[in-house]
């Protein structure tokens, strides 16, 4: 039996990739989640998976605009990458070059918000966490924030 090893799981390259740079304007919240939804639609996600992804992306992008670039309203860029790996594994990163987060653990606590006047509920990170399989937040004060989300869809690329 000469079965060739197909498992290069460790450092596999993405099967497909999208990179998006958008100005930090609130109209782009919808643009961003719609673009990501369109890109991942080739994987034939369920309606529920698609809703999860759109909502999680919307949270991350909104945070760049209302928090990351709060000191420079109307300025700044949001960097979004969506990578598709074997077995319908999605990796989405949303990055800003804004003010950064001093205490990430505190920021991730449900209901914690630094902007109650803006009618924020402090649930953004909790939503991202709940609607994806894994959430990683990297941040440096004065440099910016990167949010990484992973989600494996129930379908495979074979079906495309």
Partner 1 sequence: MSFDSCAVSFDTKDNVLTAAVSGEIDHHSAKAIREKIDAELFYLRPDKLIVDMSRVTFMDSSGLGLIMGRMKSAEEIGCGFALKNPGERIKRLLDLAGADRIFDITEEKASKGEKK
Ligand X SMILES: Nc1ncnc2c1ncn2[C@@H]1O[C@H](COP(=O)(O)OP(=O)(O)OP(=O)(O)O)[C@@H](O)[C@H]1O
Per-residue CA distances from 107 to 19, 21, 47, 74, 111 (Å): 27, 25, 30, 23, 9
Q: Within a 10 A sphere around the Cβ of 137, how many other Cβ atoms? A: 19
Catalytic: 95? no
Site string for Mg ion, 61-80 (x = CB under 5 A): --x-----------------
Catalytic: 63? yes
Residue 150: name the closest of 103, 58, 77, 81 by CA.
81
Residue 35 binds: one of partner 1, ligand X, Mg ion, none (C-beta under 5 to 8 A by kind): none
Rounded CA-CA distance 95/146 in Å is 4
Instruction: Give the residue nearest to ligand X (CB).
Output: 124
Rounded CA-CA distance 22/12 in Å is 28
Coil, helix or strand for 134? strand
Considering the candidates 83, 108, 120, 152, report the single residue annotated as catalytic.
Answer: 120
Question: Which positions lie near partner 1, rule CB under 8 A?
Answer: 26-27, 29-30, 33, 47-48, 51, 54-55, 58-59, 62, 65-66, 110-111, 118-121, 123-124, 126-127, 130
Question: Which positions lie near ligand X, rule CB under 6 A?
Answer: 59, 63-64, 67-68, 96, 98-101, 107, 112-115, 120-125, 145
Q: Tell me which residues are annotated as active site.
A: 59, 63, 120
């Amino acid at each position: 039996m000469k079965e060739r090893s197909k498992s290069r799981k460790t450092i596999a390259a993405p099967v497909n990739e999208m990179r998006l740079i958008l100005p930090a304007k609130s109209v782009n919240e919808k643009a961003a989640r719609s673009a990501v939804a369109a890109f991942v639609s080739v994987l034939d996600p369920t309606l529920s998976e698609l809703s999860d992804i759109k909502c999680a992306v919307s949270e991350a992008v909104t945070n760049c605009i209302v928090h990351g670039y709060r000191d420079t309203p109307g300025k700044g860029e949001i960097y979004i990458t969506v990578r598709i790996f074997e077995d319908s594994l999605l990796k989405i990163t949303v990055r800003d070059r804004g003010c950064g987060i001093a205490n990430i653990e505190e920021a991730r606590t449900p209901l914690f918000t630094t902007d109650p006047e803006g009618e924020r509920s402090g649930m953004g990170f909790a939503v991202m966490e709940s609607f994806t399989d894994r959430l990683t937040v990297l941040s440096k004060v004065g440099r910016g924030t990167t949010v990484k989300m992973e989600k494996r869809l129930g379908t495979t690329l074979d079906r495309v």
